[in-house]
Amino acid sequence: MPNIYLENEISKQLLIFICYKWIILLTIQILILKFLNINNMKKIFLLMFIMTITVASSFAQEDPFIWLEEIDSEKSLEWVEKQNDVSLKILKRQPNYQAIYDKNLEILNSDERIADPAIYGSYIYNFWQDKENPRGVWRRAELKKYLKGNPDWETLLDIDKLSKEDDIKWVYKGATGLFPDYKKFLVNLSKGGGDAVIVKEFDAESKTFVDDGFYLPEEKSGISWIDENTVMVSTDFGDGMTTSGYPKQVKVWKRGTDLKDAKLVFEGKEEDMGIWGITHPTHTKNYQMIMQKTSFYSGAYYVIEKDELIELDLPEDIQLSAIFKDLIIFELKSDWNTGGKEYKQGAVVSIVYDDLISGKNNFELIVQPDERSSITSLSTTKDALLVNMLNNVKSELFKYTWKKGWKKEKIDAPQFGNITLGSADEDSDNYFFYFTNFLEPSTLYFGDAKKGTVEKVKSLPSFFPTDKYEVQQFEAVSKDGTKIPYFVVNNKNIKYDGNNPTLLYAYGGFEVPQLPRYSALTGTSWLEKGGVYVLANIRGGGEFGPKWHQAGLKENRQLVYDDFHAVAESLMEKKITSSKKLGIYGGSNGGLLVGVAYTQRPDLYNAVVCAVPLFDMKRYNKLLAGASWMAEYGNPDIPEEWEYISQYSPYQNIKPGKNYPEVFFTTSTRDDRVHPGHARKAVAKMESLGYKVYYFENTEGGHAGASTNEQRARMNALIFSYLQMKLMN
């Protein structure tokens, strides 16, 4: 896939670079010769040889594609347009592209989808996108009617209409209601889908934005209600943000005053990851807290009590998870000895708020996972703490009630799948949760925590014949002997001849577990076409708690990639597939994963979908939010840490003369979390060395890569057309 534009740009930069280096070196040579009075021609040739090596070495350290980090420069966008054009012409010509796109769009726009509920008082609020509303509508319906299946939806905010009026491609990013009557909301809107948002106050009764109401300009801000006329704000107040691009100050802002006059309550450091204010209103008290994140996994908590800032005496890696009945709930990321008790890594503990701020350490143990279990999420109702647990990558749901101690009860939820906690009402005992697995479409359940009842609200229809398929769970043995579980979804009539087109997906980072879930898009676009789908639970994730995650941090990162290679080899040993039939897919940190996979072991993979990836690990901490992830990967500016990062960083490890697969890179111009320069530079370097690649950069969509159902359907069709082309045709 030759790119004349790219070749000309590289040639021009190389010429400037070489001339610049030789002028400097020639000057140095003349001075040396004059100083030493050298006339010996052999010594002159020796000096010239040394200079040539120096130039070559300097060139090897330069990045000729760094100009692609200029996100919106005319030159970069011209390059993007040319790359998109070349790849789209090939991928859209694939036999199944249009059929995949049409089916995906039908599924995404289907009225049979579950309208995800958010409980605010007596109403259910929901954001909905379909064919008539591609950018979506924010709407509400009465809870009683929603549960009966006949909601009378009332549109509050039409994002398509707003986008047309403002001539901006708005993307809805959520809203926060004012407790307890929820008549006012703080609505977050993004330009094109990035993490940076504007915040506008919205009146749910008049269905309009409040004139002269609370408003924050576009930034990666945080804002929460203290009361109707007061908010706690974390944003750029004019003094800049942290090196990670997040707020470093928290202020209290009164209605009717300028933002610049808001009262400063906490200021962190520029090198902190970020500083955020948190409020938690109840009928008796509004808890006000400050979270200072010094890194992604460490920091400190403060409370504001009677206008006094109090630092809490807690481990730096502890995680605040909930506030329940004047109890503060924490999750432990490491072992902790306090108050004469030992609490193990992964435990959930509680303490009375007044005891916490007075420095007492009389914590109570709520739950302690074992080696093969972990906490997925916590939620609270009026009378119950809901705990969603994983047991060997299968979900179980429990409720804990407090009365001078914790009482545990298992909730009668479906088994052998993935439970996801939904919205819960802290003013009643109502809550929602979802259940799904690879072959069961997502089902929404409504629970009453006090009564202990659970009832089905709605199930998604199955968009492909799931009875034809089976799910198996296996274990691969990694290089260091660790057993790595993985799921395989395949046709019941599979032949174990190594000839099955197989797609392997994993993530392996940030303590994020990868769990079984039904995907109509994968089912119709891959399984029904004869493919096998594999989900790997490699280290770095949260499947078995903090220990499983921490095993792959920083200098141990290679273990994550060894796990992934081990799963690939296990699939081949079982003759499920072969290297010619194996494709891999990952996004964000998972994009880094598959980037490492194909540069380290190109012999294992024949197709690679590298989506919104981290790729240049030498510069990742200088791009957008990259500095916030140094607790995960390490700091490449520290030589000792770059030593181990450099061993796997895909960008630096692309070499000439390798048998790399034809990778498909995707990203978004408006991704303000992982810089699009990672994917751009990867493509440019691959092509400069003569490798064939595919590339698509969506002009909006943020880190999700798409903002509308049409964009999601197109992206999915491109990905599966590529996979079918490489592994099936």
Three-state secondary structure along 473-524? EEEEECCCCCEEEEEEEEECCCCCCCCCCEEEECCCCCCCCCCCCCCHHHHH
Buried b (16+ CB within 10 A) or exposed e, 318-337: bbbbbbbbebbbbbbbbebe
- 3-state helix vs strand vs coil in the chain, percent to 5: 30, 30, 40
Is residue 52 predicted with pLDDT exceeding 50? no
Provide the CA 212 distance to its chain's centre, in angstroms. Answer: 34
Is residue 6 predicted with pLDDT exceeding 70? no
357-413 pLDDT per residue, tens = 999 999 999 999 999 999 999 999 999 999 999 999 999 999 999 998 999 999 999
234-263 pLDDT per residue, tens = 999 999 999 999 999 999 999 999 999 999
Backbone dihedral region for residue 658 (phi beyond 0: left; psi -120 to 50: alpha; all else: beta):
beta
Residue 11 parent element (H or E): helix 4-36
Q: Is the N-terminal amide bond of 650 cis, ω within 30° of 0?
A: no
Distance in angstroms (rounded) separating the CA atoms of residues 453 and 145: 19
Is residue 2 predicted with pLDDT exceeding 90? no
Tell me how crowded residue 466 is: count the other CB atoms within 10 A of its CB: 18
Q: Which two tokens stand for residue 489?
A: 């979804």
Q: What is the pLDDT of residue 729?
A: 78
Residue with tokens 């995404």, as numbered in its chain: 108
Q: Which residue has the higher pLDDT, 14 or 285?
A: 285
Mean pLDDT for the stretch of residues 486-506: 98
Mean pLDDT for the stretch of residues 30-49: 50
DSSP assigned state of 689: T
Is residue 13 predicted with pLDDT exceeding 60? no
Distance in angstroms (rounded) separating the CA atoms of residues 16 and 12: 6
Positions marked active-site: 588, 703
Mean pLDDT for the stretch of residues 51-65: 57
Comparing 28-32, 267-271, 470-474, which segment has the lowest mean pLDDT? 28-32
Q: Using alpha carbons, select from 247, 251, 256 the residue that is nearest to residue 233.
A: 251
Is residue 591 predicted with pLDDT exceeding 60? yes
Identify whether the C-beta of residue 311 lies closer than 8 Å to the C-beta of residue 285.
no
Q: What is the pLDDT of residue 439?
A: 97
Angle at which helices 97-108 and 709-727 cross, to 10°: 140
Q: How many contiguous H segments (helices) and E segments (strands) does the chain have?
A: 16, 39
Angle at which helices 4-36 and 41-61 cross, to 10°: 140
* Cβ-Cβ contacts under 8 Å for 661 (sequence gap 6 or more): 598, 602, 605, 606, 607, 608, 726
508-539 pLDDT per residue, tens = 999 999 999 999 999 999 999 999 999 999 99
Identify whether the C-beta of residue 192 lies closer than 8 Å to the C-beta of residue 218.
no
Identify whether the C-beta of residue 278 lies closer than 8 Å to the C-beta of residue 300.
no
Q: What is the pLDDT of residue 57?
A: 42
Distance in angstroms (rounded) separating the CA atoms of residues 156 and 159: 10
- Tell me the one-letter amino acid at 399: K
Q: In terms of C-beta density within 10 A (0-12 exposed, 13-18 middle, 19 or more buried), how is residue 493 classed?
A: exposed
Residue 232: strand, helix, or coil: strand
Any bridge partners for residue 279, and if so which? 288
103 backbone dihedrals φ, ψ, rounded to 5°: -70, -40
Q: In terms of C-beta density within 10 A (0-12 exposed, 13-18 middle, 19 or more buried), how is residue 663 classed?
A: buried
566 backbone dihedrals φ, ψ, rounded to 5°: -65, -40
Q: Which two tokens stand for residue 141?
A: 């319906």
Residue 298 parent element (H or E): strand 298-305
Provide the CA 442 distance to its chain's centre, in angstroms. Answer: 21
Q: Which two tokens stand for residue 18?
A: 């070489």
pLDDT level of residue 27 (50, 70, 90 thresholds):
low
Identify whether the C-beta of residue 682 lies closer than 8 Å to the C-beta of residue 617.
no
Residue 470: strand, helix, or coil: strand
Q: Using alpha carbons, select from 417, 381, 415 the residue that is nearest to residue 399.
A: 381
Comparing 21-35, 61-75, 318-332, 385-399, which segment has the lowest mean pLDDT? 21-35
Identify whether the C-beta of residue 352 lies closer than 8 Å to the C-beta of residue 327.
yes
Question: Positive or negative, the Cα torsion across 479, 483, 487, 493?
Answer: positive
Fold annotation for 66-105+463-704+713-727: Rossmann fold (3.40.50)
409-467 pLDDT per residue, tens = 999 999 999 999 999 999 999 999 999 999 999 999 999 999 999 999 999 999 999 99
Distance in angstroms (rounded) separating the CA atoms of residues 610 and 590: 8
Residue with tokens 């591609």, as numbered in its chain: 134
